[in-house]
A and B are shown apart, each in its own frame.
Chain A
Amino acid sequence: MSAPAGLSPVQAAREAARRERWREPTVGLRLVLLLAWALLPLTAPSFQTLDLALKIALFATLAASFDVVIGYTGIVSFGHAMFFGFGAYAVALAVGKLGAPTYGHVLLGFLVGMAVSATVAIVIGAFSLRVKALFFAMITLAFAEFALILAVQWSALTGGEDGLSPKLPGVFAAGASGPFGLSGRLVTYYTVLAVCLGCFLMMRRFVHSPLGRTLQAIRDNELRAEALGYRTFVFQLVASSFGSVVATVLGGCYTLWVRYVNPESALGIPIMLDVLLMVIIGGIGTLYGGIVGAAVLLTARTLLPNLRGLGATMFSGSEILQRLSERWLLYFGILFILVVFFFPRGVLGTLREVAARRRRGAAPEG
């Protein structure tokens, strides 16, 4: 296929992608997945199932926002959970500390959180993106640790280790009922789901935009992109800020759903590790990989406590064996190393590679 006259190669590629959009093989799969999330509450599941489904959606989107930074831009940041925590705390503080809660406070929390995140992301990026890429990982890790310590120490504002459990307004409040006979819980479910979907579509748009293509060029060969006249620093700054702000929005949603924030569940290094694991398991640089990663990790985590009970009864004699069955994080660590070694592209990346190879095999190039 030759590009029509007057179109740059990039424009031609975008035209082609646009034409193919509804003919992609997995478009049906994506719609079914979305439908499953939307219809799940109608099957009247237990709260645990509903909670798991929404958390998968939430963390899949969070993993995707991290993927925008690490997979599409090639910036290794360990501060992503910190931005998630900013959102969670901003909403919790705005609702909990400014008098009787209203929807306005929720909105204010989101806006303030986003503003703070954008500022912090730009400040961190401004002095650490200019230096060696590896610095960024260390500096963001240091900042994340700092934010965690701040949240624990500044207990007058953040509630310290105990965290905050704000009273939420209107339909978000505990035991509230919403319109059309829906329970408040369900309205919250759909609200958060809609926000996740919106964020996801926005990120999809972002990585497929000309800006996103430039980012991928920078990731693949920074010197070359620079030589082509792109100010790589500005692009990287925009991408990391964008990912951070999305993470903040999701953090706010987390507070709406869980109604509780503490340093460990919203800010800590463990959250960061989780998100990293999700991205790696699902496939780095695939955006949708986050869904696979979040589903695997969160389902395993929900089911594993049951296994722990099993381990306690099976190995009641030996303390070491009991501990071996308790420390499931160990197995995640091993799984993580194996995935990085043998499936560096993750589940989705590997599947895509196989599919691409088969397609090429079916239509031999000639």
Chain B
Amino acid sequence: MRRVLPFAVGAALLLLLPLAAIEPRAWLTLTVAGLAMGMLIFLVASGLTLIFGLMDVLNFAHGALFSWGAYAGFTVAVAINGRWGWAASPSIWLNAGLLMLAVAAAVAVAFTLGVVLERVIVRPVYGQHLFQILITLGATIVLEELIRIAWGPNDQVMPVPVTFRGSWDVADVVILRFPVIAIALGVSVYAGMWWLLHRTRVGLIVRAGVENNEMVQVMGHDIRRYFTAVFAAGSGLAGVGGLMWGMFSQSVRPSMGGEQLIFAFIVVIIGGLGSVTGSLVGALLVGLSYNYVAYLVPKAAIGVTMAIMVLVLLVRPTGLYGTGK
């Protein structure tokens, strides 16, 4: 609990600080957008950080899995909408059903790809950092090109269910609907991960593996199976992140994963490699500050995330929650 207090104070300050320069209503809109963006980045970054923490693999193919998730969900959404018109229907249930099915497709495809990648490409190069980076980079090229071949190289419009489009007006404050969904999803994923990691046996073994994977093997657990599972789960999260991002920006394009991967990297560095909570804090930090700065000084938006990263590294080289492993 000692750790929670400074975080809470810092978060409150960060949230309130921009009020000095931004009028309250715009601030609220920006905060919601920032939290949503942060949550979406968190989905990508949490998988990345778990894979790194447990397996010591820096997965550059994470961005490509993000894109694949987005395209898988996009295909399902287009197909369902084309046949039954669920996205255009005013029924909340049909809208939610469409979103659920798209998410399920994104997870399924990214998860499967994750298993294949881990088994075929990553497994032979455990322990060799340079080759891990190279080989996952190669996988990124191949996966992105396959998207261009299968779906074409251009941007495409993502069908977003009517219920989640537009905004609510709450006492003159414009609150976009989709970001609220994204925030809810992000919170539930974080809660789910926290529960899985801290309250279940599987989580215990994974955490122990992050700490000292040789010892876990000595205790008789087949750590390689956990490796595959964690890699695939991380990939699945990237897939969900991709789909949600596609809905958020209402479009999909082949290179979307690469762009988000940079954000995810920055978030993982800020939060500390291997820490899920660190990823959440880092992602919210990046999402919020990006939106505030983009409102105040549009051109400096990318720079501010870099500045945060540099600052954090100068103060804590292992990241906010890093263990210095």
Contacts and interface: CB of A to CB of B under 8 A. Distances in A.
B152 A323 contact: yes
B58, B130, B139, B325 interface centre (most CB from chain A within 10 Å): B130
A138, A139, A344 interface centre (most CB from chain B within 10 Å): A138
Contacts of A146: 302-303, 306
Contacts of A138: 58, 265-266, 268-269
B134 interface: yes
B314 interface: yes
**A contact residues, range:** 35 or more
B309 interface: yes
Interface string A62-96: 00000000100010100000000000000000000
Contacts of A209: none
Interface in B63-108: none
Mostly, the A contact residues are helix
Interface in A137-196: 137-139, 141-143, 145-146, 149, 153-154
A333 B145 contact: yes
B185 interface: no
Contacts of A76: 129-130, 133
B313 A131 contact: yes
B58 A134 contact: yes
B135 A127 contact: no
B299 to A, nearest CB: 6
A139, A143, A327, A340 interface centre (most CB from chain B within 10 Å): A340
Interface in B131-181: 131, 133-135, 137-142, 145-146, 148-150, 152
B10 interface: no
B142 A142 contact: no
A153 B299 CA distance: 7
A127 B313 contact: yes
A340 B58 contact: no
B142 to A, nearest CB: 4
B18 interface: no
Interface in A286-331: 320, 323-324, 327, 329-330
Contacts of A149: 302
A341 B58 CA distance: 17
A324 B303 CA distance: 38
Contacts, number: 100
B314 A127 contact: yes
A284 B128 CA distance: 14
Contact of A323 (B124, B149, B262): B149
A329 B141 contact: yes
Contacts of A38: none
Contacts of A334: 138, 142
Contact of A142 (B134, B141, B266): B266
Contact of B137 (A273, A284, A341, A344): A273
B135 A340 contact: yes
Given A76-B129, A131-B317, A273 B268 contact: no
A336 B136 CA distance: 10
Interface string B290-308: 0000000001001100100
A133 interface: yes
A137 B134 CA distance: 11
B121 interface: yes
A70 B121 CA distance: 21
Contacts of A336: 134, 137-138, 141
A341 B140 CA distance: 16
A129 to B, nearest CB: 10
B258 interface: yes
Contact of A340 (B129, B131, B302, B309): B131
Nearest to A71: B130
Nearest to A143: B306
B148 A327 contact: yes
A135 B152 contact: no
A330 B318 CA distance: 36
A139, A149, A280, A333 interface centre (most CB from chain B within 10 Å): A333
Interface of A: 70, 74, 76, 127-128, 130-135, 137-139, 141-143, 145-146, 149, 153-154, 269, 273, 276, 280, 284, 320, 323-324, 327, 329-330, 332-334, 336-337, 340-341, 344
11 contacts: A127-B310, A127-B317, A138-B268, A141-B265, A145-B302, A323-B149, A332-B141, A333-B139, A337-B121, A337-B142, A341-B135
Nearest 8 pairs of A and B residues by beta carbon: A333-B141, A330-B145, A333-B142, A337-B138, A336-B138, A138-B265, A131-B317, A323-B149
